[in-house]
Amino acid sequence: MDRLRKQQWMFSLAYVVAAALALYFFQAAIATPAPRRVSYSQFWSEVRAGRVTAVHVTEREFVGALKSDPSRRKRELIAATRLPGIDETALIKELEGRGVDLSGRIEVRSWWTELFLVWLLPLLVLGLIWGYGMRRMAQGAGPLSFGRNRAKIYDDSSRIEVTFADVAGIDEAKAELQEIVDFLKNPQKYQRLGGRIPKGVLLVGPPGTGKTLLARAVAGEAKVPFFSISGSEFVEMFVGLGAARVRDLFEQAKQKAPCIVFIDELDAIGKSRSAGRGLIMSHDEREQTLNQLLVEMDGFDSSKGVIIMGATNTPEVLDPALLRAGRFDRQVVIDRPDLQGREAILAVHARKLKLAPDVDLHKIAARTPGMVGADLANIANEAALLAARRGAERVEMRDFEEAIDRVMLGLEKKSRVMTDAEKRRVAYHEAGHALVALSLPHADPVHRLSIIPRTVGALGHMLQLPTQERYLMTRPQLEDQIAVMLGGRAAEDIVYDGEVSTGAADDLHRATELARQMVTRFGMSERLGHLTYGNPLASQFLKGPFQFEERNYSERTAEMIDDEVRAILDGLYAKVKRILATRRPDLERVVARLLEKETLDAQELRALVSAPVAASSPA
């Protein structure tokens, strides 16, 4: 009840402000202009001067309309109080004689009408709306949701075009869902033997891996209606609406069985009830919605043919009650696609494009490790747009190359003016990264070197290309990776004699982060042993820049961690400086060429550097 009070208060307050504003503008628009008050004799001298075109006689006053002056928008009115006890017949006669319109057509409303129209009526309407809102809230719904027309938001796309053929690279997940498709197509077959079909299937995987797509494809394959709602749509201001929507959704679905009910971004409603307060959605709202969902999931049996699918990228935060048997009891994990998977996904999206014969999807897949289906779809689309802009007939390999760069690095910004000195510094920085990468046995091969600024990120870039998918990283690999990150700063340090620049900020941040993880998470420091420090799970609730870590170690350990991280970085930095110092002639040659050409590819680079280039050995 307390919550209701507070809500009603907030609503009333906001409402009064809004109503006052509305009333003000309404009156400004509708109210008749007040006539200018003049004296009795002034009024009649205006009449005699022939400036009055119409006169309205009321019980108390004469109101006269002056001849309209074209420069003014509104016509001007004057009013004079009638004098008591004076015979006005002569005056009226005179008005008639002058042809002044006396029929009282001047639109001046009576005092009463004015009051009613301008004040009472709007107040009445506003009051009614307010009352309605308060009542709705007391009933546990949003104040301004009118009835149940919200139900329209469910996307009952009975004719979904998406099928399994549109989903690639996640064959295990597809195989698992095939069973659901079979069941939806032919429920009797499964029930004959008394088996129970899973009620809820939860798709778990990183964003953009195709969870939403896959759910639609299941409906498309089985040719059943697909009701979908997204957890983020439940972000409502007022309590109760979310629960009402869940109820609606399931009611509609039951009438259309067999069908699929898909709850996208389940974590937005299904967060563990003990977890921290939601930042956007109020705690209560989420809890009510979640409870309603649990009730609905328990309240019907899947033999009716309604399958509930959910999708989330953070299963850890889901309330355990959701994952219990009888609810989302089956989980299908969707991973980032591997090399083959990426190629297959690219093939799906390339079907719609006109490709030139030089396009090698395998190569593109190799250049995009870690990317998910959504990224690849984006790249295919970008490439098509780039080709169109060139006015080309077909999409060529170079369009794909540029599209990948755009997605990974942002647009080229040739317009950004850098001084020659700055350019030279960037060239040393990037060449430093590249030479270190060429010198270390575990570093990924260099793919390209450039000093063309991009909208995202640095003033130049050095791209490495992993030779194959990595699932594990060894300690030497991590160390070499950090060393490559430090290469830019080290080159500046050597060439400019310690006068370093801000250009290495991002490199240093990433290097530090990686070194810290080696110490606190991977147990790769002798001094700190094979232990993990800090509880990274706590950071699941707040992603992005606000990562908090539950600290479960002492102040003294914290100091040791800092020392170890520092020792790793210092050691690697010294090593990198040694490498670059011995390869100074290479560095100068690469920089000279880079300043000339702005971009060097792997072959050009290799032609410039002297012999002992460490062979990159894949793990």
184 contact choice in Zn ion, ligand ADP, Mg ion, none (CB below 5 to 8 Å, kind-dependent): none
Q: Quote the crossing angle between the two packed helices 241-255 and 283-298, to the nearest 10°.
A: 20
CB 270 within 8 A of CB 316: no
Residue with Cβ nearer Zn ion (315 or 488):
488
Tell me how far CA of residue 132 lies from CA of 8, 16, 394, in angstroms: 12, 14, 61
Q: Considering only the stretches 212-220, 294-302, 342-350, 539-547, report the one whose residues sit in contact with Mg ion under the rule CB under 5 A.
A: 212-220
CA dist., res. 264 & res. 272, Å (int): 17
**What is the rounded distance in angstroms from the CA atom of residue 534 to the CA atom of residue 531?**
10
Q: Which of 402, 507, 564, 586 binds Zn ion (CB under 5 A)?
A: 507
Q: Please report, as residue ranges, which positions from 389 to 448 form the binding site for ligand ADP (by CB under 6 A).
A: none
DSSP annotation of 550 reads B
Position of tokens 């060449």?
431
The entry of Mg ion, Zn ion, ligand ADP, none that residue 207 binds, CB within 5 to 8 Å by partner kind: ligand ADP
The set of residues, in sequence order, having a beta carbon less than 8 Å from that of 501 and lying 6+ positions away, is 425, 429, 492
- C-alpha pair distances (Å), 291 with each of 137, 142, 143: 19, 18, 21
- Which residue lies nearer to Mg ion by CB, 212 or 616? 212
And the tokens for 584?
Answer: 């100074």
224 contact choice in Mg ion, Zn ion, ligand ADP, none (CB below 5 to 8 Å, kind-dependent): none
Using the minimum distance from each CB to ligand ADP, give the nearer residue, 253 or 345.
Answer: 345
Output the six-digit token pair for 237. 């201001």
- Which residue's C-beta sits nearest to Mg ion? 212
CB of 208: closest distance to Mg ion in angstroms?
8
- Any bridge partners for residue 201, and if so which? 309, 330
Vertex 6, ends 271 and 139: CA angle to 5°? 75
**What sign has the CA pseudo-torsion 350, 354, 357, 358?**
negative
The Cα–Cα gap between 270 and 248 comes to 18
Smallest separation (angstroms) from ligand ADP to the CB of 349: 6
432 touching Zn ion, by CB under 5 A: no
- Residue 212 found at the interface with Mg ion (CB under 5 A): yes
Residue 549 CB contacts under 8 Å (≥ 6 apart), including other chains: 534, 535, 536, 538, 539
The least distance separating Zn ion from the CB of residue 500, rounded to whole angstroms, comes to 12
Out of 170, 184, 364, 524, point to the residue binding ligand ADP (CB under 6 A). 170
Amino acid at 479: E
Q: How far is the CB of 334 from ligand ADP (least distance, A)?
A: 7
| Binding test (CB under 6 A) with ligand ADP, winner from 35, 142, 198, 208 | 208
Sign of CA dihedral 27, 32, 36, 37: negative
Residues assigned a catalytic role = 430
395 close to 381: Cβ distance less than 8 angstroms: no
CA distance 178 to 441: 45
Binding mask 339-358 for ligand ADP (x = CB under 6 A): ------x--x----------
**Nearest Cα to Cα of residue 506 among 460, 468, 560, 549:** 460
The smaller minimum CB distance to ligand ADP, of residues 348 and 508, is found at 348
Q: Are 571 and 482 in contact (CB under 8 A)?
A: no
CB 338, min distance to Mg ion, A: 21
The entry of Mg ion, Zn ion, ligand ADP, none that residue 489 binds, CB within 5 to 8 Å by partner kind: none
- Binders of ligand ADP: how many residues, by CB under 6 A? 18
Rounded distance between C-alpha atoms, residue 591 and residue 430, angstroms = 9
Residue range at the interface with ligand ADP (CB under 6 A); choices 114-122, 161-169, 232-240, 515-523: 161-169
Residues 470 to 499: which contact Zn ion by CB under 5 A?
Answer: 488
CB under 5 to 8 A by kind: which of Zn ion, ligand ADP, Mg ion, none does 374 bind?
ligand ADP
Q: Residue 132: which residues within 8 A CB-CB, separation 6 or more?
A: 143
* Binding site partner of 368, from Zn ion, ligand ADP, Mg ion, none, Cβ cut-off 5-8 A by kind: none
563: nearest Cα among 514, 600, 531, 527: 527
Binding residue for ligand ADP (CB under 6 A) from 321, 377, 392, 500? 377
Q: Which span (11-19, 32-40, 372-380, 474-482) binds ligand ADP, by CB under 6 A?
A: 372-380
Closest chain position to Zn ion (CB): 488
Say whether residue 490 binds ligand ADP (CB under 6 A). Answer: no
Q: 373 touches which of Mg ion, ligand ADP, Zn ion, none (CB within 5 to 8 A by kind)?
A: ligand ADP
Which residues in this chain contact ligand ADP in the complex, by CB under 6 A? Answer: 167-170, 205, 207-213, 311, 345, 348, 373-374, 377
Which residues in this chain contact Zn ion in the complex, by CB under 5 A? Answer: 488, 507
Which residues in this chain contact Mg ion in the complex, by CB under 5 A? Answer: 212
